[in-house]
């Protein structure tokens, strides 16, 4: 049984297509989400269906797989069973047995103990979150258009993105491009080019996973787009109409802003702690479970855990907290499928080893940074690399064609075809 049809889980399932096993894939959503492009849904550049692929469609030709829509809420490792809730027929508490279990539940955003901020500052982890953000961003421009008070209008045109990692950088860059290029001729009462986009990062630079040179280039590229990177600054409160931001020297500023987007702090899926408590082990501060070098739980060779929700103990006893990236989850997924195939043939498998192929982040049109095996590039070549890599890994031929077509149109026209507000709060007929 595989829990989670994301980057890790789907690789396990696909790489078992020729193995003599029956696979049950359980996911609480009926689609695989290509998270790296979700921010483009949030800013109207792509439609939701273009970054997601229904799991049943992805796996329809793989006869040894059964897909189940349900939420896994617990594990009985002694009886080799998982507990399923929120079944589509309304059922809950159903148990399902397994011979081998792979758990790949991913991660979610952590609000550093301020869960009350979640409502004001939505995050991009899910498709629903992205559509919520899209509604809020587009509604803010509409609100500015009908607002006669200058100060209030400014607050509608001020966007705060919390977290200067790749997602925060991408979001901030996209909002700035949306305001300055796509929308600038669409409104009559408001000049959207006056939009402020603040990117708040506690560390002393953005994109800390990249070498400092690329962080600084990315900062300059963002500034050119009209984003204000506030490095060394921390969001300390998020109220209904303002955000309190503290600088490194302790100065506090209350910024009037109606739209806040959360892209900071990641915590493992609760499935990691559910597995840990079923096994009597512990999770780390980010909620991650520690697995052995063959990605199984210690003394439970039949239970694998992979992806964002785990750290890997190396053969030499050190623990590797690999980055929360799709290639890590995919390589782990492929490795688990190999272990399972090897076991069926009575062969041993080498311990898991992550091959780091590099890091990419896009900032905006023709702007990106890439650190590929020590080669540092920025600007147009990095952006083309980013496009090719993302198209290559996007699931589904149809999605690739649709996305490349949309990107080509947007590149030429600077437009965004998916600028729909789907929740206006107005009464339906």
Which positions lie near ligand FAD, rule CB under 6 A? Answer: 3-9, 26-29, 35-36, 38-39, 71-72, 104-106, 124-125, 166-167, 269, 271, 307-308, 324-327, 329
Q: Which is nearer to ligand FAD, 162 or 190 (CB)?
A: 162
Name the minimum Å distance from CB 68 to ligand FAD.
9
Name the minimum Å distance from CB 386 to ligand FAD.
8
Name the minimum Å distance from CB 285 to ligand FAD.
18
Name the minimum Å distance from CB 5 to ligand FAD.
5
Q: Which residue is nearest to ligand FAD, using beta carbons?
A: 6
Q: Which is nearer to ligand FAD, 153 or 390 (CB)?
A: 390
Which of 377, 408, 403 minimizes the C-alpha distance to 391? Answer: 403
Q: Which is nearer to ligand FAD, 54 or 232 (CB)?
A: 54
Per-residue buried b or exposed e for 245-268, using 16+ beta carbons within 10 Å of the residue's own CB = bbeeeeeeeebebbbbbbbbbbbb
Strand 319-320 versus strand 310-313 pairing type: antiparallel
Q: Which is nearer to ligand FAD, 140 or 336 (CB)?
A: 336
Which of 128, 127, 126, 189 minimizes the C-alpha distance to 156? Answer: 189
Name the minimum Å distance from CB 46 to ligand FAD.
13
Number of C-beta neighbours around residue 389 at 10 A: 17
DSSP strands (E only) in 266-366: 266-268, 289-291, 296-297, 300-305, 310-313, 319-320, 359-364
Alpha-carbon span 85 to 184, nearest angstrom? 47
Burial label, 85 (beta-carbon count in 10 A; 0-12, 13-18, 19+): middle
Q: Which is nearer to ligand FAD, 40 or 192 (CB)?
A: 40
Please report which residue ranges of 80-194 form alpha helices under DSSP H.
127-146, 150-156, 166-177
Show which residues are catalytic.
170
Question: Does residue 107 come out as left (phi exceeding 0), alpha (psi in the -120 to 50 range) or beta?
Answer: beta
């Amino acid at each position: 049984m595989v829990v989670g049809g994301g980057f890790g889980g789907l690789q396990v399932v696909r790489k078992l297509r020729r193995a003599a096993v029956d696979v049950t894939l359980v996911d609480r959503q009926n689609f695989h989400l290509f998270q790296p492009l979700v921010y483009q849904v949030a800013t109207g550049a792509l439609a939701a269906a273009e970054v997601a692929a229904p799991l049943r469609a992805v796996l329809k030709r793989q006869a040894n797989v059964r897909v189940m829509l349900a939420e896994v809420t617990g594990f009985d490792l002694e009886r080799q069973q998982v507990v399923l809730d929120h079944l589509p027929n309304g059922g809950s508490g159903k148990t399902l047995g397994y011979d081998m279990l792979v758990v790949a539940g991913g991660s979610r955003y952590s609000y550093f103990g301020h869960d009350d901020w979640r409502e004001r500052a939505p995050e991009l982890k899910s498709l629903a979150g992205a559509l919520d953000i899209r509604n809020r961003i587009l509604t803010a421009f509409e609100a500015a258009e009908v607002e006669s008070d200058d100060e209030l209008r400014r607050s509608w045109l001020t966007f705060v993105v919390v977290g200067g990692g790749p997602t925060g950088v991408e979001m901030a860059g996209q909002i700035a491009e949306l305001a300055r290029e796509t929308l600038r001729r669409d409104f009559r009462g408001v000049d959207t080019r006056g939009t402020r986009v603040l990117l708040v990062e506690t560390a002393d630079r953005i994109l800390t996973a990249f070498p400092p040179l690329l962080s600084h280039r990315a900062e300059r590229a963002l500034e050119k787009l009209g984003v204000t990177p506030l490095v060394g600054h921390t969001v300390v409160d998020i109220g209904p109409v303002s955000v309190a931001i503290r600088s490194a020297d302790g100065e506090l500023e209350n910024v009037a802003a109606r739209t806040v987007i959360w892209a900071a702090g990641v915590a493992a899926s609760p499935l990691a702690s559910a597995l840990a408590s079923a096994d009597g082990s512990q999770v780390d501060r980010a909620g991650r479970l520690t697995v052995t070098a063959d990605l199984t739980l210690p003394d439970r060779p039949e239970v694998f855990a992979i992806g964002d929700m785990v750290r890997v103990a190396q053969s030499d006893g050190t623990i590797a907290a690999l980055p929360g990236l799709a290639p890590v989850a995919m390589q782990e997924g492929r490795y688990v499928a190999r272990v399972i195939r090897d076991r069926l043939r009575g062969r041993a498998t080498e311990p898991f080893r992550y091959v780091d192929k590099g890091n990419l982040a896009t900032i905006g049109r023709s702007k990106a940074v890439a650190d590929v095996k020590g080669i540092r590039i920025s600007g147009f070549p990095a952006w083309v690399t980013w496009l090719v890599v993302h198209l290559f890994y996007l699931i589904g031929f149809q999605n690739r064609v649709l996305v490349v077509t949309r990107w080509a149109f947007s590149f030429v026209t600077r437009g965004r075809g998916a600028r729909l507000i789907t929740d206006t709060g107005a009464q339906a007929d």
